Amino acid sequence: MSQAYKQAGVDLEAGYASVERIKKHLERTKRLGATGSVGGFGGLFDLGVLGFRHPVLVSGTDGVGTKIMLAFLLNKHDTIGIDAVAMCVNDVLVQGAEPLFFLDYIACGKNDPQRTEEIVAGVAEGCVQAGCALIGGETAEMPGLYGEGEYDLAGFAVGVCEKDRLVDGRTILPGDVLLGLPSSGLHSNGYSLVRKVILDEQKISLEDDVPELGQSWGAELLQPTRIYVRPLLPLLREGRLKGLAHITGGGFIENIPRMLPKGLGATLQLGSWEMPAVFGLLEKLGEIPSQEMYNVFNMGVGMVLAVAPSEVDDVLGHFQAWGETVYRIGEVIVDEGVHLV
């Protein structure tokens, strides 16, 4: 093999070893429509076997932001892949689409096959939770651009929806009810501010246990992003949801208006949902204004649903049957913007 390339910092043998190690993880994610095998130049998916009348493909791509730097610090890489999948499939889901397949991209300074396997194992777990196939990806070794212990992770998801089941918010009306599904913590947004407060300003050790959290700062901050596919897909197929907002960067203030027609806004009733302790701790430690908290973080609600008043009881019953917690957090109003009351 090329010794000159290895001396330049790229280890082809490590790349081959990584591919072999991740094959079993891709196998876990097989689903109807996924064809082909690992190692081809492109991932294959047969859309024709799914039986859609007028299919519309919905795609999304994202990364995990600076949350990945905490994975470096803690040398824990087996959950960050779940975040990458979640950020993509949740965005596909809010358009009414069922996620079909996912591809990942890992860029690193030095390819460590064991670490790469840990990352991809997390990606595969996210795909299993989302019911989509991991049909390919790329690991790029780029010494000089990344340090030896550094990497970045991004992904790309494609879903499908019947054209007449697309969710675009156009039927939302004043008086429609807003329901919230709990987050699993910070998810994958606001970590530049989190690191500034916890690491730079407060000099807190990530290994420190925090009574309010019931675990260490590190465990709390690496809690993977929740994937909402399974509880929401049945409602989407039945056409019971008028709009969905994935609460990511921009928090409530920016994301809820994205699902609303022009001229409409929302009121949110503070205290109507259970807020995880991590948000209060960050607000206090960083002396962050309350309004800014709602403009950066999900504050304990990772997905907001717009539902007609006549559908609310049935939707609540659906979540109860699934054993899911759901909060009635507000309503749609004739006044643009998000109003916290």
**Tokens found for residue 157:** 């998801």
pLDDT of amino acid 1? 47
CB 286 within 8 A of CB 196: yes
What average pLDDT does the segment 172-188 reach? Answer: 97
Sign of the CA dihedral running 260, 67, 19, 139: positive
Q: Are residues 26 and 133 in the same domain?
A: yes
CB 91 within 8 A of CB 62: yes
* pTM for the full predicted model: 0.90
pLDDT of amino acid 10? 52
Whether 172 maps to a domain, the answer reads no
Q: Are residues 233 and 127 in the same domain?
A: no
Residue 274 has pLDDT above 60, yes or no: yes
CB 140 within 8 A of CB 104: no
Alpha-carbon distance of 81 to 89, in angstroms, equals 12
- Confidence label for 107 from pLDDT (cuts 50, 70 and 90): very high
Whether 170 maps to a domain, the answer reads no
Q: Are residues 199 and 319 in the same domain?
A: yes
Residues 224-252: b if buried by 16+ CB within 10 A, e if exposed = bbbbbbebbbebbeeebbbbbbbbbbbbb
Residue with tokens 């206090």: 284
CB 75 within 8 A of CB 118: no
CB 256 within 8 A of CB 245: yes
Report residue 34: phi and psi, to 5°. -75, 125
Task: Indicate which CATH number applies to the domain containing 108.
Answer: 3.30.1330.10
Q: Are residues 112 and 183 in the same domain?
A: no
CB 310 within 8 A of CB 320: no
Q: Are residues 204 and 158 in the same domain?
A: no
Alpha-carbon distance of 116 to 118, in angstroms, equals 5
Q: Are residues 325 and 214 in the same domain?
A: yes
Report helix angle 113-130 to 80-93, nearest 10: 30
Alpha-carbon distance of 151 to 10, in angstroms, equals 14
pLDDT digits (tens, 9 = 90+) for 11-51: 556 555 666 666 677 677 777 777 766 666 677 888 888 88
Q: Are residues 183 and 161 in the same domain?
A: no
Alpha-carbon distance of 333 to 341, in angstroms, equals 13
pLDDT digits (tens, 9 = 90+) for 207-249: 989 999 999 999 999 999 999 999 999 999 999 999 999 999 9
User: What is the percent of the chain where pLDDT is above 90?
Assistant: 81
Considering 165, 197, 220, which residue would you say is the last residue of a domain? 165
Considering 140, 165, 190, which residue would you say is the last residue of a domain? 165
Whether 207 maps to a domain, the answer reads yes
Whether 171 maps to a domain, the answer reads no
Q: What's the domain range around 293?
A: 177-340
Q: Are residues 161 and 197 in the same domain?
A: no
Cα angle at 153 between 40 and 2, to 5 degrees? 55
Instruction: Name the more confident of 12 and 341.
Output: 341
User: What is the percent of the chain where pLDDT is above 70?
Assistant: 91
pLDDT of amino acid 22? 64
Q: How many residues does the chain have?
A: 341
pLDDT of amino acid 30? 78
Q: Are residues 197 and 275 in the same domain?
A: yes
Whether 315 maps to a domain, the answer reads yes
Task: Indicate which CATH number applies to the domain containing 248.
Answer: 3.90.650.10
Considering 109, 130, 165, which residue would you say is the last residue of a domain? 165
pLDDT digits (tens, 9 = 90+) for 275-312: 999 999 999 999 999 999 999 999 999 999 999 999 99
Whether 278 maps to a domain, the answer reads yes
Q: Are residues 182 and 99 in the same domain?
A: no
Whether 187 maps to a domain, the answer reads yes
Nearest C-alpha neighbor of 147 from the set 119, 110, 117 = 110
Q: Are residues 213 and 322 in the same domain?
A: yes
Alpha-carbon distance of 275 to 209, in angstroms, equals 20
Total domains in the fold of the chain: 2
Whether 152 maps to a domain, the answer reads yes
Q: Are residues 109 and 75 in the same domain?
A: yes
